[in-house]
Structure 1
């Protein structure tokens, strides 16, 4: 079973966990989760696909578990989605209803989730090939695409990480990450449910919240770890932990080193994407090397290819296109067979779009995107094209180009270069992006220019921007 730790018969045999999930001030036992989620399953069992506004609440977690019990596909929706992004996700996914709270002005029916409802009806385990989630990408090359993740792929991915991180039911996982992407949702919620370890979700990933949680495992993005590394008391509070895991963006080497010094734990770094989940990771029983994301997890193979398809030597310096294959990869992009086909090589490898180096010992180092349009800011993957599109929707903007600028706190700061058609306050443009795209996709800075640098073909030369 994907959620084998939620087997109601295990509860009957005395294996209940009184604090299976703590989120904010709410504590739910495993039997609480089973009863409430099964009640949800009874109300949605005939649906194919539902949208869940992925706020960090007990209702969200119960709604997701209910869908997994019933075999209904979940479409997690970022709570800060702007109007255009929200409309695209709902239209593209074909979601039939909102499960739990819905944003204002929705046209879809709303199915309530009752925190204290209980049902002990049993459902057969759905087919492992069934799609559990449609996760939407950050819109790097256009509108966000729906990534199809099967139950089988999720189970394989979580089991591989449990092995690499020696993750057992004796652990307590702590994080405060968003619940609409692989890191916070798949790893951070389904992981402990599958392993059988308690989860403490802090709602917000602040140093104070992490230091008060008293867990054995902590998940964070580089922005979180950077802030914790600057808080001596928070670092001291994490010394009793077993492992600190960093992902979603590269962890700056100074932050890695400071965490290792002040907490006594060299962070475990790992690499993945929505389409692949986690394919590379340092192991808890092996080396953790600053700037490197470790080895392939169980079942994963990797290779590097140059521009003409030749092998790239594993010397730690030569770089090439990173290609992977393994049991945790996605089933394609929803409704986009041509886009799906473009991601795969003729001999069955997935082209990640990232550039990497591999050392003689098999350790991997991610160099960056093959393109320049993926910005990793505060742990979020933000597509520059989507931000540009949002800016161009403002009547005062004639042209726009968006880049990521190095930032000590965020990793990269989103900066927009705009050519104006009319006078406008720069904050108005920032607020406009927050409304129509997402809050985390807003530019932190807008720079007004008279023209954008272009090549002979008219393409903006982003390498001449930034800094």
Structure 2
């Protein structure tokens, strides 16, 4: 371990009047951010852990930066959490205080905690608060809670080493520099919106413009006035694809962007194609999760690869593993295995959960391979194509291992389908039958079951066709637009 860890934000060590952050009516230069965050960091010194009420405002960014400058782990809180989930996160992380904007209304669960109001002003004169002497690169920077889809949310311990390594790997892969201006409207309580979307630009010394709330108008305005990069999730890109034919300003703004990035879930191939046809720009997909930060990415400037998440980032190792633990050597685009990851981007463990930490790694947490639970195939050039989650998206039917993701893409290619999800259900003959959950483009005249089955069989293979089709008004989704398959109605 080195005696000193380089600062996460070099641009705050010698701040200038360059723009750093804009969110709604609030704008901060690096000098102003250094003063505001530095003053707050001084108040946080010596704290064990602090919670941050992570509403999409400039104050959330200041609060997290201040905690990192002070060497104090920050716990971003989802402002849309229910009472039970919020109580669990607070009981598990035991923060010393909660950081919030002066006007933020906090739920009753936070009333017992000391509150520290986050300001956007700091003392006059040079700002900044360097990391404390002797900071350990393995010390925790953030505690990010998982979505809790398989039980109570777990606190993912992200070290300063992991944050820096992942952001620097993305900078190398995307040629991300201080000249870039990032636009996004993602929530700020998770890895995509906070680590990539706020800490990423600040580590580079560039600018982040947060929309406050996502809108096509906001994207057009900010990309059209100097923005070079856009981060979003598939739901956002789907809405942009819908808007492009009727919005010349949006088309021009997206066409002028240097980089369009989608993540947190697979972007349907149909939306890739619509955006590319309208703007001439290819959306780049990357793959990561709370425990690993970023693992792979399609490289900008290369050939379009819709439906894939690219190749491993610098310093990251990725392998596919069979159910018996054997490593797959096939690069055939067909053989499905679980994704395992190793590298400096990995988390340190789950807070207060040593057993869960041990179970998550093949070979132990120290230098072992993290079991992601994601299933994928590997193309001949090493490109990774995700096919779904092991628990919900791997369907074993008639002796085949089938990924739900490719069937969903095929369904979305049908003009009568607006949204689609695919699951497996027990079947006495097949083992599992493929079930398609479809939101029709025209609820009055939905496509027939047989029409959709034939459509999938023609695009993929007969054994991948859905045996049952169920129509819905909408698919259940979380804040990032991911479909929550466990909340689909069961008959």
Shorter-normalised TM-score: what interval? 0.7 to 0.9
**Contact 2:216 2:243 (8 Å CA) reproduced:** yes
Gaps of 5+ in 1: 377-402, 410-432, 449-464
Answering whether residue 177 of structure 2 is matched by residue 172 of structure 1, we say: no
Question: Displacement, 1:406?
Answer: 5.4
**Contact 1:80 1:439 (8 Å CA) reproduced:** no
Answering whether residue 153 of structure 2 is matched by residue 136 of structure 1, we say: no
**Contact 1:324 1:351 (8 Å CA) reproduced:** yes
Q: Give the corresponding residue for 2:99.
A: 99
Question: Displacement, 1:112?
Answer: 1.5
Cα distance between partner residues in 2 of 1:137 and 1:172: 29
Q: Give the corresponding residue for 1:6.
A: 11
**Contact 1:288 1:294 (8 Å CA) reproduced:** no
Question: Displacement, 1:310?
Answer: 1.9
Higher relative contact order (CA 8 A, sep 6+): 1
Cα distance between partner residues in 1 of 2:488 and 2:345: 41
Answering whether residue 130 of structure 2 is matched by residue 123 of structure 1, we say: yes
Closer/same/farther in 2, CA of residues 25 and 122 from structure 1, 3 Å limit: closer
Aligned with 1:328 (options 334, 342, 345): 345
**Contact 2:12 2:30 (8 Å CA) reproduced:** no
- Once the two structures are superposed, residues 154-198 of structure 1 have per-residue CA deviations (whole angstroms, 9 ceiling, x without a partner) of 000000000111111111100000001110000000000001111
Question: Displacement, 1:288?
Answer: 3.1
Moved more, 143-152 or 306-315: 306-315
**Contact 1:23 1:201 (8 Å CA) reproduced:** yes
Q: Give the corresponding residue for 2:241.
A: 229
SS of residue matched to 1:180:
coil
Question: Displacement, 1:43?
Answer: 0.9
Question: Displacement, 1:404?
Answer: 9.9
Question: Displacement, 1:263?
Answer: 1.6
Structure 1 length-normalised TM: 0.79
Closer/same/farther in 2, CA of residues 442 and 309 from structure 1, 3 Å limit: closer
Structure 2 length-normalised TM: 0.75
Q: Give the corresponding residue for 1:351.
A: 371
Gaps of 5+ in 2: 1-5, 395-403, 406-434, 442-475
Map 1:324-403; keep pairs closer than 5 Å.
324-346=341-363, 348-372=368-392
SS of residue matched to 2:361:
coil
Q: Give the corresponding residue for 2:426.
A: none
Over aligned residue pairs, what C-alpha RMSD do you find? 2.8
- Once the two structures are superposed, residues 341-361 of structure 1 have per-residue CA deviations (whole angstroms, 9 ceiling, x without a partner) of 111112711110011001110
Question: Displacement, 1:228?
Answer: 0.4
Answering whether residue 161 of structure 2 is matched by residue 152 of structure 1, we say: yes
Cα distance between partner residues in 2 of 1:405 and 1:236: 35
Q: Give the corresponding residue for 2:46.
A: 46
Aligned with 2:276 (options 232, 239, 260): 260
- Once the two structures are superposed, residues 417-446 of structure 1 have per-residue CA deviations (whole angstroms, 9 ceiling, x without a partner) of xxxxxxxxxxxxxxxx99xx9998998999
Cα distance between partner residues in 2 of 1:91 and 1:99: 17
